[in-house]
Each structure stands twice: as structure tokens, then as C-alpha cells.
Structure 1
Amino acid sequence: MDIRDLFQISLPLIQAPMAGSQNHELAAAVSNAGGLGSIPAGMLDANLLDAELTAMGALTRKPYNVNFFCHRTPPADPARNQAWLDLLAPYLAAHGIEPTSIPDGATRRPFDAAMAEVVERHRPAVVSFHFGLPDEALLQRVRATGAKVLSSATTLEEGRWLQAKGVDAVIAQGLEAGGHRGLFLSDDLDGQVGTFALLPQLVAALDLPVIAAGGIADAQGVAAAQALGAAGVQIGTAYLLCDESRASPLHRQALQSPGVEQTVLTTLFSGRPARGIVNRLIRELGPRPAAVPAFPLAGNAIARLRGQAEPAGVSDFSPLWAGQNASGCRAIGAARLTAELATGWRL
């Protein structure tokens, strides 16, 4: 069985949720084209999510996915935060930012009761999670709406854990994928593998549909995933240049530059490993310095630097998320891209 039956869609394609780079317009275009569009909620509060889903409902009646982070917000660590500010001190000074003016606290919220109320109100067909799963009581509220539940696995161990928790399908997130790694049982990046190594392992070990994600950018990649047993594919980076994308002009420029060939896993922008295009901050500080606070406590200082640099056309402090294969990025409509990607799937 592929995901067309599971999600009641006509094409076995999921548009990956990309917080900060898209909204309901991209998701609706993909859903209306027959795939499964996704709304990223990782940077929204309950009121903003409610508005997004209301806008989504005005554009499509087709099934769609809402994606949440389900991390645990860490306690404040003043010593580590000071080490982080010390590391950034030359950049803060150059932009006239007083370190004491930068607020403490989390910049991203995990899935909580307020978000569960929004899910209950709008009843999306699919709810997906990143960084594992939320507490069982919250998960039961999602299931009670009738939504299918997905989560990302970056290792075989994580896939088995998710199956034991009763998810409806597992997303095999290979090392090539852009944006945040979904790892949750271990922070060890040495155990992370590519999509076409992870996918067949999960297909063989699990009794659930497995969705391939990471490095798939064209119809040939879709066909390769199907050949290895995928029940569907999830594609993100290829959609970033689409007409409906909300990627910034600086992000779009980077995606069309030679620099897109060099991506790394970096913790600099949030505190968790995420794949993006190398820019000045990564080159000068290294991709994962020890002083970076735990996710998501790094975001406040970076946001201040971005706020100064981006209006001047400078992406030195911007997270330019992208996977290792951006060859499918084109400035076309999302419906056209979805249809072209689907030609790789043997229907």
C-alpha cells in the first residue's frame, strides 16, 4: 500500500513542511494538485496557526498535513548563554547590538494543549511531528480527531520506536535532507545515514508505510525511492523557488548560486543540527561550536543579527536551509512541479 490510500490523495507526494519559507499558499497548491501539502507550525503560536489553517481551508478542501516540533524546552543555562554571546560579540558590536538587550528564552514552541485545541477545531487529515512524538495525552487528542499520525526517523532505532508508539507511517529522513534533523533518541551525528541507505532498512524492519525524504529532487529520485520500497516521498528543497514559496530574496539568491553545492549540518541558528548553505557565520565560527545553547535557545541572538543584516541585502547570519540536492529547484508553480515529480512514480 502506498500513501495515496492512507491519506486519500491522488499522488504519493508530500511537500515537506518548511518553517519560515512557506505558508498555506504553497501547501494548498500541492494539495490541490493531488499531493499532500504541509503547514509548518514550528514557528507559530496557537492564534497564528488557527489563522493559517483558516486560510488553508479557504483555498482547498483536499487533505493536508500540519507539522509540529515536539522537543523539550531546556532550562536556562546562564553560563552557556554567556559563552554564546561572547562568541558572537564581534558581530554584535559591528552591528551596534548591546548583548544585554537580547532576550532570553525559547524562540520555538513544542506541541502543547493550545495547539491541540487548534487541531481539534480544524481536523487536518494528517498531523506530523519532528523530534519524536509529544506526550501520550496530547497524542491521543490528535488521534481522536481522526488524523493520521506521522513522525520522522533518522535511524533504524528511531523507526522501531515510532512503530511501537503506534504511528501510521514513518518518514525516513536521510542525511541529505535540508533543514532540521529529526533525530530524537541520540544526538550522535555519526549514526546518521543517507536516504537510500536508511530507507530499505526501515522498509525491511517495519510493518508500516515508509516515506522517503532527503535528496529527492526530480522524477528519477522519486522512481529510485519507489524501487527501494518507499510508500511515498517527501520533498522540500525543490519547492523553495516555486511561485508560492515564501523563501526570502536572499534565500532564493543562495539557492541559485554556486554556493548551493556546499551545505553542512549546523547548530548555529537554532541549537539543533540542521542542513543549510554555508555562509559567513558558518565559515568563521565552524558549523557546530560548543558554545551554542541547546535548541531553541540560540535563536534570539541570531534573530537580532539577521534583523540588522538582511535589510542591507546580507545573508551572513541567515539560515539558508537546503538539502544536498537542489537540482530540482525551479521558479515554476507548485502544481506543475508536483505533477512533474509524480511522473517518476509507477502508478
Structure 2
Amino acid sequence: MISTGTARHGRTSGSIAVLGTGSCLPSHVVGNDEVGAAAGVTDEWIRRKTGITARRRAKPDEATSDLAIAAGRAAMEAAGITAADLSLIVVATSTPDQPQPPTASIVADGLGAGHGAAAFDVNAVCSGFVFALNTVQHVLAGSDSPYALVIGADVYSRILDPADRRTAILFGDGAGAVVLGPARPGRGLLASRLAGFGAERDLIEVPAGGSRRPTTPETLAAGLQYFHMNGRGVRDFVTEVVTPAIGAFVDDAGFTPADIDHFVPHQANGRMLDDLSATLGIGAGHTHFTYEDFGNTGSASVPVTLDHAARSGRLADGDLVLLAAFGGGMAMGLSLLRWQHPLPTHTAPTGYTHTTPFC
């Protein structure tokens, strides 16, 4: 049984909206045969267990910040702003370029916003983007500075044990981003909820490499520098905690599952998401998936999937959009928003249609 945690939630005036989205998926495609060979499983086994057919991997000279910069540029172009307009840049990641400085500082400099815009990282593992989105929304609501860039980016291929079939087959690399700014009346972020479940923190972890257990020859020999996950425990967490919490969140906001036009969940595992949507009563036609082609991209999975939906033209002005993320910590982040389109002061850039966002 999973113990409960403490939730932080609230309603907003809807004064802050998503003005543009962007994403970046590395061009290198890694199929199931390749990852399966190292992990001792087959393509058929991976498809049956996860629904994943491929994932993207960063090149050896590409880091988290490189993907984040590309996604951020795409989001700013969609929003019709430049780096000079940004007052805040937040990167959600659990695979930073290096322990210090924040990856967001590297991204800010790469975007040309290295002087003036505040920049910091958020680490709530796969929930990080929604945690950052909800936090930045409240910062902007009380600020005179109108625009912020929120990015979810991870390069999990650097922390995976290729022989661990529980993790190596699931994860891909990528980045997704949104520009936040002023909303029209009746549009924007309506409600949010963040929750933590620290008693379950060992379900997902990288055991060594920090101040408690620094990297040593012994930890390397034991593989403690790799990402570890208790898959059965995570599934129980989603079933027992996340699913009812999402239902309660929607109800508390004054809606029903039938009101949700678009459900954008964390792309943890295709089979798990099928069960989640069915239990919530949100039809498959309203749930957005990218896991089949991209796998689980960590904190990038929600913004990548949101960008995919936006650029496909499926998000209409006034649509009700539910974002739901969960991951290590354990942690859960939820957001509900009224989609705003077109932009309040800018028109969408020419060619703003869906293309596979390779970078």
C-alpha cells in the first residue's frame, strides 16, 4: 500500500497562459532491436509491455542544455517573442549538464538572455515540468514582467544501465518548452496541484553520485551511478495514488472527466497510460500520446506531448486541457488550463503546423 502525501493546490484567476510551445527530439533513432539486444529482451516483448517502438538519443557531444535551448527557441518563435522579453527561465531536469551551475544558466546564455533574466533549475524528476509551470505561473501573476520560459529537458541515456530491461527500454532523450505570459479573460491556467510522497522516494533513484554516497570505484562497480526503478511499485503508486488524485483534482476544479477536451499525461509507459485514461473515464480520443515514437523523456514528456498536440492543430481556443505528471520523489503535479489561441498580441508564425521536432 502506498502512503499518502501532502498536496499543495489552488485556483488561479487564469491571468497567465501558454503563449507558445516548442520541442526538440534528437535525430538519432534507437529501435527496440538495439536496446532489446543489450537488455536481453525482444522487440515483441517491449511492444507488448510498453507500447514503445523507438526512442531518441542525444549524440555524444549533445547535453541537456543543447536540447533545452533548441526547444526554448521554438517556443519563443511560436509565441512571437525574443530572449530580451524574458524575465525568467526555468529548466526542469534531473540530468543537468553538471552539478553546478544550473543548466538554466547555460540555457539563458545560449538563448541570449544571460544578462538580466533570472534562471534556475527544478528537479522533481518526471514531474519537474509541471512543478516548474505551476511555480512560474504564480511568480508571473505577482510580477510586472510579462514573459517566462519553462523547459523540461532530460538526457536519460547517460544514466541508464543498458543491461537493465526495467529502464533501458523505456527512456529517450528530449526537451519541451512553453512561453508563459498574459492571458485573455477566461483563458489560461485555472488550477494546479502539487503533491509529494517522500516515504516512497526509493521507488525511483540514482543511488550514488551525491553528498551522501559520493562516486567511488566501489559504487561504479556496483552500478549505483545508474537510474534505478521499482517498476511494480511505480505502477502501484499510479494506481493507488495518482489516478484517484487526478479525479479529485478535476472534481475540485468544478469539472468532470467528460469536460476534458485534452489530457496530456506523463508518457511513462503506454500500457499504464491506457489503464489510467480508462479508469478516469477520459476517452482515448482525448488523450495525447507520444511514447510510441519517443519513449519516456522524463521531465520533457509532458511539454513534448503538449507541443505535438499544439502543432498538429488539435488544440482549439477555449479547450480545457489537463496536464498530469508523476515521477521520482515520489511526486505528482497537475495543471488545468483553458487553451488560448490565437496569441493575444502576436499571430502564430508562418508554417506553425506539426512537423517531427528533430533538432
Shorter-chain TM-score above 0.5: no
TM-score with structure 1 length normalisation? 0.30
Q: Which structure: greater strand fraction?
A: 2
Q: Which structure: greater helix fraction?
A: 1
Higher relative contact order (CA 8 A, sep 6+): 2
TM-score with structure 2 length normalisation? 0.29
